[in-house]
Amino acid sequence: MIKLQSLIGLPVIDINTGNRVGKVRDIWFDEHWLLTGIVLEARRWISSDVQAIHWDNVIACGEDAVLISDTQAVVSLKAEDIIRCFHTGRIKLKDLPVITVEGLQLGRVTDVYFDQNKGTLIVGYELTDGFISDLREGRKWLRISDYPDEVALGEDTILVPVRAEQDLEHTTGP
């Protein structure tokens, strides 16, 4: 599994030439919160266009780089076309509250886990209750792939079944 935040800041390399085409700025999702692509850091300050790479063109995500099929995979999109991202865009996944259907908040999203080999589905969330709680107890990990039809990922909150509270696992500190 890959933690989404570990990709941010990595160089993006064309697998055919070895040339660097940019650096990962953010990860972009579609309206169903499926991984759609990578947003690259802007090269020009004035442009309203965003350089992005559709996820289909990502060959591998390693510790030190993201490899893409070729330079032609980089496309220009209007910023308003990229609505859902991890930490930029109009709708942000980072810091969304995760709440059970009975109204209990389990924490806020600090990171997202996905399995590159299994497609573009989010498989889990790393949650926080705040800095002090993270230091004392560690962050929490919720495997949402256990509830494929019971998670409602909205624009303002993520709703999960009541039993998700018992399934939370603690990780190490921040």
CATH number of 2-90: 2.30.30.240
Residue type, 27: I
Q: In the CATH hierarchy, which fold is given to the domain comprising 95-170?
A: Photosynthetic Reaction Center; Chain H, domain 2 (3.90.50)
Please report which confidence band the pLDDT of residue 109 belongs to, taking 50, 70 and 90 as the band edges. very high
Residue 83 in contact with residue 143, Cβ under 8 Å?
no
The full set of domain ranges for the chain reads 2-90, 95-170
What are 28-67's pLDDT values in tens digits? Answer: 998 888 889 999 997 766 667 889 999 999 999 989 999 9
E-strand ranges in 115-148 read 122-128, 140-143
Rg from Cα positions in the chain: 17
Q: Please report the beta strands in 49-144, taking only residues with DSSP state E, as ranges in sequence order.
A: 49-54, 58-61, 66-68, 74-78, 84-85, 91-92, 97-100, 105-114, 122-128, 140-143
How far apart are alpha carbons 84 and 130 in whole angstroms?
Answer: 24
Question: Tell me: the pLDDT tens digits for 122-140?
Answer: 889 999 987 777 677 778 8
Q: Which two tokens stand for residue 112?
A: 């997202």
The model's pTM = 0.84
